[in-house]
Copies of this chain bind each other. A is one copy, B any other.
């Protein structure tokens, strides 16, 4: 669908200008300078030619088959120009100009106007208020963009609404001598969307790595779907900014209110298998490694160095990121001891010494590439004047091109003095970094990707023993009655319909009824006030725990009647379950994305330490298990200080039942199971709340 947009043969520029500082001039200059393989048609009723290309008076004068039209004209003229393009059979328009929805209602009206016209003709709009696209494919070389970094052909594609950040990322690749495949920054994105571009790049064989930057998501579910589809085929690296309250505010001010402080974006990245970043430098440096390196097949790294300290820094970062530095196998050790200098450190890291030769490097590289103890190889390479650094570089380059295992190189040099050494490595696609930490983090991300792609997320197993009809009827009735919150009995009936265990309970409207219920359930019991007027039960003295016998229950109930003078006051009587570990679960509807499900330890753990984790529905068994293991206090679930552990299987099952309940009843806005008491056997929801 977007094929002609990214691979245009004929590009026209409405608003082509003779003034060099005008975007309508620069776009043409950029197309020429970048060696565009197609034809360029400047449209300007007053000019004869622009950069030597004859100008046309109107798009209507252009030949047929225009793939892309740039518009660099005031907003008010855009609707008519779109109309003209429609008449001409143009299929894609990049609107570089601003003055549309980003400036307020007036501009928004113009945007709506031209969009309607475009739709009529089947024209796709890229932008407005955008930079445009670049395709560095040597057969295309389309620089339909007014920015300034001129990429070499490459394997990484960049997509972002924000031209500023897309350009920063782009500059980062260029500064590292690494090419870009396709670059797309679509500004207001009124028609062609980010998910659509991501999907296109997923199908583009030239795009081997996809990098994206977001501040907020317009259509989270479309983004999730596109990323899930593409991340299954190639690495998708993404960064979300606007993470702090202040950052979200800054983002809102420049995008017109799109961004918000959220947790959903991270959950989407995780669900989709996208590699998430919070540092743009690390994003850039990691993408460079992905662009040239084979996939990691494990987390065991071997280090080769010719200087000590930088290997220590790299080791810290690698180990800190969970990579292993196994010892050399005894064969490899013996083999290297024979071939390196006697003072060389033959371990992991292997230190060939500053005087280490090309042969020493090659021997180590081959040894680690062949040694099954290692999944990837980290090279530290400082360029002392007294060794033949070009030869060392050639050996690294050659080994890199064999693509046996992923390799990164921390190249510590003066790029001005060691021009040739640098070039040998870069030309061979060796990912080179100026700092050990940068190289190590890039390598750690290759391994993280391996872990993401090989992690068995499991399928969602629909829980069969549920009575979804009953639950749906309760919820539907409440919605029909205009309730925003379910009554206690409704909550417990919904939970029970999904096989979620709750302590035995009764509802009654009298003190005697409560006593009868307690006799029936068996003491001890909990008594809770039950009336629509009672929202925060605890605060109103509407909860009484651990009532051991009838007189205690009666006193408590009469006391509640005194405190809460509500004629409709009823009582909720429930079996009191002492002991157990207090956990909490919850859920919140996320626009178009199902629900974010929360799990954590209860009480002070959640209040003081915010020790909770989230996952988007539907939650698989593997994901629920991960939730349990990824809280900080996870060892409490396993039992500490001689305490027995709790029934983790029961919690995992409960999370899945909860997930299915939420999937089946999307009208639920918020749900709290707080606390969920986990015992050595089983787990019970002791209090719950459902908002619609």
Contact = CB atoms under 8 A, between A and B. Distances in A.
A146 to B, nearest CB: 8
Given A241-B309, A254-B345, A345-B253, A280 B437 contact: yes
A281 interface: yes
Contacts of A26: 385-386
A311 B241 CA distance: 10
10 contacts: A146-B386, A148-B383, A149-B414, A162-B307, A167-B307, A242-B312, A242-B316, A254-B312, A607-B635, A608-B633
A435 interface: yes
A250 B417 contact: no
B22 A386 contact: yes
B641 A281 contact: no
Interface stretch (A170-178, A454-462, A524-532): A170-178
A167 to B, nearest CB: 7
A254 to B, nearest CB: 3
Interface range, A side: 35 or more
A158 to B, nearest CB: 12
Given A148-B414, A608-B633, A640-B608, A241 B168 contact: no
A382 B148 CA distance: 10
B21 A103 contact: no
Given A254-B351, A347-B253, A412-B171, A313 B241 contact: yes
Contact of A160 (B146, B243, B309): B309
A636 interface: yes
A484 interface: no
A23 interface: yes
Interface in A171-228: 171-172, 174-175, 213, 215
Interface string A351-390: 1000000000000000000000000000000111111000
Given A309-B213, A640-B608, A435 B172 contact: yes
A165 interface: yes
B308 A255 contact: yes
Interface string A633-653: 101100011000000000000
A93 interface: no
Contact of A172 (B160, B254, B279, B434): B434
A280 B608 contact: no
Interface in A116-163: 146-150, 160, 162-163
A136 to B, nearest CB: 15
B640 A165 contact: no
Contact of A175 (B247, B255, B383, B415): B415
Contact of A168 (B21, B98, B412): B412
A438 interface: yes
Contacts of A338: none
Nearest to A387: B21
Interface in A316-348: 316, 318-320, 325, 343, 345, 347
Contacts of A244: 315-316, 319-320
A349 B241 CA distance: 15
A675 interface: no
Given A246-B316, A280-B435, 19 more contacts: A26-B385, A98-B343, A146-B384, A146-B386, A147-B384, A162-B308, A164-B412, A167-B382, A171-B413, A172-B434, A172-B435, A215-B312, A241-B316, A250-B349, A253-B347, A254-B308, A254-B351, A281-B437, A604-B640
Nearest to A251: B312
Name the residue in A242, A319, A608, A635 with the highest tally of chain B Cβ atoms < 10 Å from its Cβ.
A608
B310 A165 contact: yes
A673 B476 CA distance: 59
A265 to B, nearest CB: 13
B250 A384 contact: no
A434 B171 contact: yes
B148 A310 contact: no
Nearest to A635: B608
A552 interface: no
A213 B213 CA distance: 34
A316 B247 contact: yes
